[in-house]
Amino acid sequence: MTSNQKPAPKLLEHIGRVFEQMRAEAKSEQVRGKHVLVWEGHTTKLFAQLRMPTPYYSSVLRRLQDMKCIEQLSRGGGSAESRWALLDDPTREAFDSTGPRQGKTRLSLVEKQVSTLQMGQETLMDRIARLEHESGFSTTEMEHETRLAAGD
């Protein structure tokens, strides 16, 4: 690693481990006229076997596909195993080029959701205030009326 290169992110390490295990268990097949390695199995069991943290499951498989390292040939489920063609080794360059786009990191998505919720809350509060003003009835008066009706 050069001095200006960042250390590999944990996600890339997990991607490499999953791909290497798939390669170790894969068999050679003809797929669409090409000779490729094909891994068959339950991806959930693969992750458990590697003691991979569950939150990485989707991001590892999605990123391997985005990086054009694997392609799903058939989907598993229940007792059926999924089939994956192994196309290319994962690299740091492919990882960086398919990484979260600006504004697409998990934190930025959560921040955007919080901001949207806050704007929605402000809009609702403004509407309530406007309705109270137009009706001459305040929320505190409404709460008092509700308590009286309930017998508090």
- pLDDT tens, residue by residue, 79-122: 999 999 999 999 999 998 887 654 456 776 777 778 788 887 88
Q: Which domain holds residue 123?
A: 106-150
Amino acid at 100: P
Let me know if residue 130 belongs to a domain. Answer: yes
Please give the backbone phi and psi of residue 37, each rounded to the nearest 5 degrees, phi first. Answer: -85, 135
1 belongs to a structural domain: no
Same domain, 51 and 124: no
Clarify whether residues 19 and 88 are in a common domain.
yes
Region 42-61 average pLDDT = 92
Q: Is 75 helix (H, G, I), strand (E, B) or coil?
A: coil
Is residue 35 domain-shared with residue 85, that is, in the same domain?
Answer: yes
For residue 31, the tally of other CB atoms under 10 A from its CB is: 14
**Running DSSP on this structure, what letter comes out for residue 4?**
T
